[in-house]
Amino acid sequence: MIEVVRRPRQGLFLPEADLWLDPSSKAERAFISHAHADHVARNRLSLCSALTADLIRVRYGTSKTGAQEVRALPWRIPVPWKKGWEIRLLPAGHIVGSAMLHLTRLSDGATLLYTGDYKLRTGLTAEPCELMPADTLVMETTFGLPRFVFPPLQATSEAVLQFVNETLAEGRLPILLGYSLGKAQEILAILHQGGHPVMCHDSILKLMPLLQALPGMPECRPFDANSAQDHVLVFPPQSIRELNLGAWTGKTRSAMLSGWALEKSARFRYRVDAMFPLSDHADYPELWETVQMVRPRRIYTVHGHTLEFAADLRRKGWEAWSLERDDQLELSLE
C-alpha cells in the first residue's frame, strides 16, 4: 500500500514518494500542475513543466516562490525521483504548460496518474492532453454531473464572434471576461479568427512576451478609452470594476466565458449580458472517457462533484472513492 494523506488546508501527499500534489501552502517537495495562483505555493522544491516554470517567474517573480527551487521537467521522459521511483509529465490540456503526473514504483511496476486540472478536448492554445494507463487514477471532477456537456469549440467560437459583431454594429464596446492565464489566451485566439483588434488588461499583456508564439495570438494593446472604437476588450472578471470606461460608460456589452455558463443562473451571478460555455476543465463525458482510456484498478476523485461522480463509477462496476474528506486514506498501487 502507498499511503496518500489528504490535508484539507494543504492537499494530497504521497509519503513514500515524499511528494505533495498541488499543495495550497508551503511544502518541502511538490508537483505543480499549472501556474494558476491557487496551485503555486512557496515550496522548497517545485516540479513542473518548463512553460509553467517560466509563467511562475513572470507572474509571481520571487514574491510567490521566494528563493526556492522551481525545477522544470521534460514532457513524457521518465525522470528518477528519490530511490525506487520514476516520474514523468504529460500534457494536461487545461491551460498552456499544464501537466499531469505519472508516477511509477520501480520495485513492482505499480503506477499512479494524477490528472490535476485537465480536459481532453483540444483547445486553441493549450498542449493537447495525453493520457497513460495507470493502476490508480486520481482525477479532477469539477464538472462531474451528467448535465455538464460542453458544445463543440467551433460552435462556441462562432457564438462569441457573433456577440462581438452585433455589439460593434450597435456602436458599443464588447468586453469579454476570462482569467488572465489560460482562458484569456483562448479568447484572444477566437478574436484572431474574427480579425478583431484587441485591448487587454495589464495582467494579460504581462504574459504576451512569453506566450506570443502560441498559435493565433493577435497583437494586443493596453486599454485606452480614446482609441477603443472598433476594439474588443479582454479582461479578467475581477478587474471589470476598476475599468475606467470614460466616454464608453453605459455603452458596453459584457460576456463571461466559463464552463459555468451551462448553469441557468450564471449570467445573473456574474452580472454580464451573456455567457458562453468555454471551459478548460473536462466535462462529464470526458471524465468517463478518461477512465476508459486509463483503465485503472482504483479511482479517486478530487475537486468539484467528487462524491457524485465516484458513485456513478461504482454503479458501473469501478472501484471509486472521493478524496474530498478530512481523514486519511491509503491508495494501494498493486
Q: Which burial class, exposed, middle or buried, applies to 141 when counting CB atoms under 10 A from its CB (0-12, 13-18, 19+)?
A: buried
Strands (E) in the chain, as ranges, are 2-7, 11-14, 19-21, 29-31, 45-49, 69-73, 79-81, 85-91, 99-105, 110-114, 136-141, 173-177, 198-200, 220-222, 232-235, 252-257, 274-276, 298-304, 320-322, 329-331
Q: Is the pLDDT of residue 197 over 90?
A: yes
pTM reported for the whole predicted model: 0.92
pLDDT number for residue 283: 98
User: How many domains, in total, are found in the chain?
Assistant: 2
Q: Is the pLDDT of residue 105 over 70?
A: yes
Of the ranges 73-87, 121-135, 204-218, which one carries the lowest mean pLDDT score?
204-218
Of the ranges 64-78, 267-281, 297-311, which one carries the lowest mean pLDDT score?
64-78
Residue 26 sits in the same domain as residue 130: yes
Q: How confident is the model at residue 4 (pLDDT cuts 50, 70, 90)?
A: confident
pLDDT number for residue 330: 45
> What CATH number is attached to the domain comprising 13?
3.60.15.10
pLDDT number for residue 114: 97
> What CATH number is attached to the domain comprising 233?
3.40.50.10890
User: Strands 252-257 and 274-276: what pairing?
Assistant: parallel
Q: Is the pLDDT of residue 15 over 90?
A: no
Residues spanned by the domain of 38: 2-147+281-331
Residue 88 sits in the same domain as residue 201: no
Mean pLDDT, residues 176-192 taken together:
96
pLDDT number for residue 41: 80
Average pLDDT for the chain: 91
Mean pLDDT, residues 207-218 taken together:
88
Place of cell 468539484: 304
Residue 39 sits in the same domain as residue 79: yes
Mean pLDDT, residues 256-270 taken together:
93
Residue 139 sits in the same domain as residue 8: yes
Q: Is the pLDDT of residue 328 over 50?
A: no
pLDDT single digits (tens) 129-173: 999 999 999 999 999 999 999 999 999 999 999 999 999 999 999
Euclidean distance between CA atoms 171 and 253, whole angstroms: 10
